[in-house]
Structure 1
Amino acid sequence: MASSTTTTLICLQWVLQYVVCRDVTLPSGPLYRVAGFPLSLPCVVSGFEGSRTQDFEWFLHREDAEGRQIGVISTRDQSFPYAPFLPRVRSGEVRLERDAGDRVRLVVQRLRLEDQGRYECYTPSTDSTFQGNYSASVVVKVIPDTLQISHSRSLIGQPLAEGSELQLSCSAAVQSQQHTHLSVTFGVQGAGPAVGGASPREVISIGRELAVAPGVGGDYRRRYGDGELTLEKQPGQAGDRDLYLMKMAAVAPGDAGAYHCEASQWILDPEGVWKRIAQRTLDLGNLTVQPLADSLTVAVVPRGEVWLSAGSPLSLLCEVGGVGAWSRSALLVQWLQQGGAGPGGAEVEVARLSPDGAVTWGGGPSRGRAEPWRSVYAGKPRPQPSTPPTITKRSEGLTVRLKTKEVSVSAVAEVARGPPLKRGSTVSLLCNVSVTTVGPSQVEVLWLKEREAPKGAGLWAEEGAERQEEGGASRPLAQLSYDGLSRSYGNSSEVSVDRLATGCYRLRIHQAQPEDQGQYACLAEVWALDPHGAWYNTGARAESASVRIYLYSRATDLLLIPLVVGVSSALLVGVFIVATVTCCFMNRLARQRSQK
């Protein structure tokens, strides 16, 4: 048994000696890097004994030094660097960055041509036995810097209107005997709400494999997919640099910021990984975007007020300013009319010019207040129906008034003759209207009921609301329009209006109640026929003097009063008699008991 255990231990020790052994690795070479740009060499040690944190020493074997090694830097000895590297180590240009206890990275911030050679990474032994390899090396080739970048068009600081097209370009080229690729990126700093403190953001790039890719921030992907953001490579002539042209179809306020162009040189390392070996950035200037909300102006011409004779043509212009590039922005124009002759002054659409140039006509009253409504699709010459406009703005209104004919009108209100008015009966009021004019005319009558107004009232409200004058407040009851349509504005009792004869209009209150008592008046307006056969309000009006409606009590109401009084009196007398008899009986009974 003991012999078997001993044999097992010997075998295990033999396996550990050959399995666990030190191994130092570096990237495969040769590695080509560009003078003036960084070099980063990772060194990893494995299979070691002792402390988890290992020390590393770096040497350079220059090609022109007959194989002699030069100490570069060490993790354990500050005096390790040789004279060529000592000042660079002290300044931090050459340094070691530890990624883990068994991993360090040699960083040369700015390579020099004399840095070319074979770099060796050595790890001092911490093992009980000397097994494995304790160093590794890689050849680094330092090639000249031939990356060039320039611009032929840059921002000059003048603001661009929202929706305008932005074009930026830069030229880039590299001349290298090695097979390298070039990528170009356009970026911006300060884009979005956090202007100034934001980190640089990639807008669009063309990669080393010539694939165009939009930036991941903002809405660049959507705009690239919609064709609003593009990047083109235009090959240069023999010996000239290639031109890279970025186009942004329509700038938005969030596109403001400092733009730059970045060119990078890439090489495929022996391990099959692409490495960026050179990079240059060129400032293209600051972009300021003027929002349409600040620059857009919409005005109707002529301004203010226009007087026209009935039947005359009306020509109005819509002037728009501050839109930016017209060819890149679709426009939707609407002509709206409000304050028409109809009750309530509703707003209606008169005409519409869509972005594709189609004209649609609406129906509106023939006079009122007109104003254009302008919607702008900034940078979208052909927006889809579902595309929301960038901004919508409306102009100040233009009031169109008609010069009326010589028209005079008068109105007189009276109570229709008949028996005295009582509660529950039908009340009839007449409005006699007299019109003097030339040509056909019609009358529109509005019945009003006055009621006591608060002190200081003296205003005129729109139809459908209360109208107040010095004599009190009035509210509309019913209306008979010029074309024979009737309208009730609501009342505690049912009302109706009709025309009895030419110039005579009637208001009836059915099943009148005490709350229907009060002062009533009628308002007459004259409508005339224009040369094109359309009716229009001449503006001539007259209001009658008010008449008072009083309701008398019915006969049944008069009989009810004595009946109630009689019953009440009888009840009082009966109660008095019963109380008197009861009191006398109780007194007599009390005397009889006392005598016994």
Structure 2
Amino acid sequence: MLSCASLFWGVCQGRLVSVPAGPLTRVKGQSVSISCTVTDYEGPREQDFDWLALADPEPVQVISTFDSSFSDASFRQRVASGDISIERLADNKVELTIKAAAVTDNGVYRCRTPSTDKSVTGNYEADVQLRVIPDSLVVTSDIPWPVVTEGGSVDLYCNASWDSIAGTQLSFTWSVKKGSSLLEELLTFGPEGTVSVLGSSAQRYANGGFRLDLHHRGSCGLVLTGVLPTDQGMYVCTVGEWTREVGGAWYRLQEKSVDLGQVAVTPTDTDFSAVASALVTPQLSGDPTELECRVTNVSHLLDRRLGASWLYSPSLATTVTVASLDAAGVLVPGPQHRGRLEASLITLTRDDPHAFKLRLCQTSEADAGSYACVITAWSPARQGVNLEHPTINVVARRVREARSSGATFEMSCQVVAKNLRDAGFSVAVLIQTEIGGPSRRIISLSPSSVLRLEDWSEPGRQDSVTLARSGPAEFRFRLQGVQVSDRGFYTCEVAAWTKQPGEEDWTKAVSGESNKVQISFEHTGPSFDVSLSSGTIGLYPWETAKVACLMSVSGTPPNAGKYDIVYEMRWYITRLRGSDHPTLLASMDRWGVVRKTPRNDSSDCSLERTGPRSYILNIHSVQDSDTGEYHCIATPWIRSPASGTWSKAPDVTSTRVFINVKFAFWDSMKMPLLYGVCASVAMGIFSLLLGLICTQCCFRNAAYKPRVNNKLMELDMD
């Protein structure tokens, strides 16, 4: 029954037109190919196809396999020049090709098949979205040291910059060309932090001969250690830009190469030749004999020293050592000639650094035979302890991608440590809004597995961010319910810690930073705007100033409900015009809680909400210190209709309004005048009273007696 039902459904489904799942991201100037296939159709084996570009008010005809005049006037010239073409890959499959895509080619393309069926069933068209991004990839190089000694290291750094807002990632491939041979790939890093090594380089990478340097700012480096003469050649770095297609597969958009330079390796093996000659030949028994061994064509001697040994062969089957002179100039006699050497009958001298002489003072018939010299190069013995410095490499990769607001983002941080024993790791996750901008620490995990939230103070979202250890040297970072404000570049900062025997405290050994993993998605929700207004911009002291912030929404909100969008409001004052250092006055969070900054002057402020999108800041009893530019910043919060979770939208900043507190002359003078008059009157009254008291008390004559009032005597009595 199930088989019959499935067969019946397949027959009833009818014609099926399919195109690649979109959106398809391509780079400007690159070739674009979009295939279209039709199945389960009736009629002729060979089917015709039409391609259209969706536009308002109706689709625009691009190209067709049936009608050569099908193209619209806007595409006709490009079709005629071959920039846009259609190629039949099979009877039921074609491919639309744009040789050099332009940004104007962005849009939705429709593949349509005319009906050849007896009955109209199934679908006859399919749509795919094409997104063409600008070519922003720029690749430069740091020229390595051109000559390297054998056994040394070569640093191959490749710098790349690109507009990562489109959500693309980079890969770095290092190659070498030796002589006339083809380019040989050494190692590829990326996309998403993967490392691939091909051919003979795999064993060398496993042995540490290739090391990735991810700590160099703005670049990715490959360090070749223990170089050999076979490593010399022309090194090339190739940077590829990748995008993730629907289904998780990576697609390479473009790649650019840059020559890192020619590297020559100087061998360390000493090379030389030795020539023996007779300076003095004996004629009779008892005559002296002098032989010289000269070293020629010496190369790569470096810090090595030469030594010589003289060999004597009385017959072809026998060879004995006469004497040797080591690198320090110490004479080592042979066992058969020790007595003659100690008696100075045989001498071994060194006249110059490259010449060794053997002299027989009295030659006898017993000395007849063949003489040969052997030259030895001695290198100094290095003693001591060779400490290997600890190193760590951190690779971050995306585990779960956040494609929309409210989704979950997950990132893994893998630590590769060398020359470390019994180490503990601490990890911190940092976010960078843009390349080159400041970094902010989100969360950290100590070597003792203590979790701590760093610069993450958003209320209600403390439980949405987690960091845990998923392996001995692997950590997993998860961010649930991502918001537009969470878009940016995330990195892992890892430090290795060790404990000394008998100690409890951790000691930091080495640290490293991973590559960047980006959260990037298009914001499809509504867009917001805020406007600022003030009833009066010129006020007198002790009056009230009102600053209103009005929100506006464009686009389609998630729902038409009343509580689908709420706002956080913050008001700032900039006391100097044009300054970039505003001061926070007051704020209101999305729950309606008001917070005010402490003030030192006599004025005060209050907040009120007069409507769903209207907020007013009141400044009571304004003073001179309240003069300045005012603006507000709004943070919209949108509730998802599906999950009911709130997501944070980007901040919106209003324009600035200047409020001036005027200078009131009479208000500023009346109090000083009143105080002055009152003080003058009080001082006058006080002076009068003081003078009166002084005249009555201090200048009064106590011996004065009034004259008796007698009648006048007559003159006669006088």
TM-score, length basis structure 2: 0.40
Structure with greater contact order relative to length (CA < 8 Å, sep ≥ 6):
1
Structure showing greater radius of gyration is 1
